[in-house]
Chains A and B, each alone.
Chain A
Amino acid sequence: MAATPSKLVSLVEAAQAVASGASLTAGGFAHSHQPLAFTRELIRQGRSRLTLMSVAECWVAEFLAAAGMLEKVYFSNFMFEGYGRCQRFSKAVEAGAVAVEDHSHFGMVSRLMAAGLGLPFMPMKAMAGTDILAISGFEPPDRKARRMQSPFGHEVVTAVSPLRPDVAVIHAARADRLGNVQLFGTTSVIEEQARAAGTVIVTVEEIVDTDIIRRQPEMTLLPALMVDMVVHLPYGAHPTGVYGYYDHDSAHLADYYAASRTEPDTAVWLDRWAHGLPDHFDYLDALGMTRLLQLRVDPALGYLREASHG
């Protein structure tokens, strides 16, 4: 058999694709499928002046802000359901350390969609008449959006410009070595992010044979042609969850949330859970097998029956 062009790389190598000053978009929604092992590796390696192009990857944004690695953020909403505001991210914005450009969810997704479809703009109907368009963050207002009359009638729409992140980082359920990626449950904005980005890195719970992918091709979210690198990272979304695998770790999230009230406590937390552990498998060892197994979901429900509410 001919050698297959495997895209499997180490976490260290994949993270090196994100240079200081790069723009990044990341998968995930609420406490689900956020690429946090990748985020911790970026923090370990150290980066500066990153730009995020985000819809709902609140935990990625929070950890990058906590580590002082963010410069600019295009986004629509960051909050921790059941906990509250993202405290380090919010503080960084309040201190003027991170510049922001606000959107509605549909506005952000439409800008990524424009890039993903190779179009110079996307027409849409939300955001009109509000400060989202009237007050500029760091982007000149006429480069973000313009009012436009339909070429086919009198209807007025808002045209938004494309956003093209240098790198998309996505955590999914499983992939083969070629980069065919499957994810069960909600898929957030992953398809649009992958299409918009220059380089697509996918971290997964399991590496499977291509025959497994071919058995359920309808579950494939990204075909191999959309993917540049694959990293095998079981529990790679922890402390967020992955549908069908493990639930979010509410105790761990609560610990972070308590620590994130102050800068020194956040630094101690990051030292313990990112800087202080050489790699992802040391992180899993530090959590311990018991805790990891307790997060495994009920296979019939896809979630953990006993998980507490925040």
Chain B
Amino acid sequence: MAEVSRDEYMAVAASREIRDSDTAFIGTGLPMVAAYLAKATHAPRVNLVFESGIIDPRPVDLATGVGDYRLAHGSTKIAGTFYALSLLQQGKVDIGFLGTAEIDAYGNLNSTVIGPYHRPKVRLPGSGGANDIASMAKRFVVIARLDRKRFVEKVQYLTTPGFLTGPGAREAAGLPGAGPVRVISDRAILGFGPDSKRMRIERLYPGETLAAVQEHCAFPIEASPSLEAEPEPDAHLLRLLREVIDPKGVYVGRGER
């Protein structure tokens, strides 16, 4: 079997975050693949909700996005965007997945601007449902490749709340969700200190080191006391990813390492 790519490590790690019977709020890309992988393996009863209003799909073909009709086919309900998002506020959503242009040590995300807000150097797409998921899902997971331009000391615009300024800040702001639990990167799986709420390294992929992770992260990041090595994914999981869920490698790149 071909070597395991970074994307494949990320998809497998993300899928493990989903527990059976969770209601999961899913976006386009790796989260979609991770959710299908979870549903095909350890979490057959996971309920998938998409911000386009699609609930519990049974797609025959991999969708190109959350609004894609491939996703509408075989779903148990098609609603509007308000309905889907209101499930977050009501407390029905256990887990959500987010990507980001920038992330800081407290898991705050920027998907709005690079540069000043009024005359940005780069105007990014904006929050969409990301702020809603991070504010109101019971927990959320960030999927982001390690890079000093992405893992920054301070986000240039705080679009989406992690732990804001640190312990107690989410509660003071009145945010109902517990905040970020994991950051799935391309070198390591990161988490947050239970007291400090700062990001730390929990699991290293084979061949990776703490120094390499720090080199690609602009804020100081330490290892968790329970640091572990991430094993290579099971052949069964790789076969599902490569042959069933994303056979064309649309979202999960192959053999790049």
Contact = CB atoms under 8 A, between A and B. Distances in A.
Interface of A: 29-32, 55-56, 75-79, 81-82, 85-86, 89-91, 93-94, 96, 99-100, 102-107, 109, 113, 124-132, 134-135, 137, 147, 155-158, 185-192, 241, 243, 247, 297, 301-303, 305, 307, 309-310
A78 B126 contact: yes
Interface in B13-66: 28, 51-54, 60-61, 64-66
B61 A104 contact: no
B254 interface: no
Nearest to A189: B81
Contacts of B174: 125, 128-129, 147, 155-158
Interface-centre pick from A94, A103, A305, A307 (highest chain B CB count, 10 A): A94
Contacts of B60: 301
Given A125-B136, A310-B64, A106 B72 contact: no
Interface of B: 28, 51-54, 60-61, 64-70, 72-73, 78-82, 85-86, 88-89, 112, 117-132, 135-136, 157-161, 164, 169-170, 172-176, 248, 250
B120 A30 contact: no
A256 to B, nearest CB: 16
A231 B112 CA distance: 36
Given A135-B117, A303-B69, 4 more contacts: A90-B124, A94-B119, A189-B82, A301-B60
A66 to B, nearest CB: 15
A103 B111 CA distance: 12
A130 B159 contact: yes
3 closest residue pairs by CB, A with B? A30-B67, A77-B128, A81-B65
Contact of B70 (A104, A135, A303): A303
A76 B52 contact: no
Given A90-B122, A132-B159, A32 B85 contact: no
A243 B127 contact: no
Contacts of B172: 129
Given A137-B117, A302-B72, A187 B160 contact: no
B244 to A, nearest CB: 17
Given A81-B67, A131-B158, A156-B174, A186 B117 contact: no
Contacts of A31: 64-65, 67-68
A124 B89 CA distance: 8
Contacts of B69: 32, 185, 241, 243, 247, 297, 301-303
Contacts of B70: 303
B57 to A, nearest CB: 11
A129 B173 contact: yes
A85 B170 CA distance: 30
B131 A127 contact: yes
Contacts of B81: 29, 55-56, 105, 109, 188-189
Contacts of B120: 93-94
Contact of B129 (A86, A104, A131): A104
A56 B65 CA distance: 13
B126 A75 contact: yes
Contacts of B248: 309
Contact of A76 (B64, B127, B135): B127
A200 to B, nearest CB: 16
Given A94-B121, A192-B82, A132 B131 contact: yes
Contacts of A241: 69
A94 B123 contact: yes
A29 B248 CA distance: 25
Contacts of B65: 30-31, 81-82
B164 to A, nearest CB: 5
A30 to B, nearest CB: 3
B205 to A, nearest CB: 27
27 contacts: A32-B67, A77-B129, A94-B121, A94-B122, A96-B118, A99-B118, A102-B112, A104-B128, A104-B129, A105-B127, A106-B129, A106-B131, A107-B131, A126-B88, A128-B135, A129-B173, A130-B131, A131-B117, A131-B157, A134-B158, A135-B117, A185-B69, A186-B52, A186-B67, A186-B80, A241-B69, A305-B61
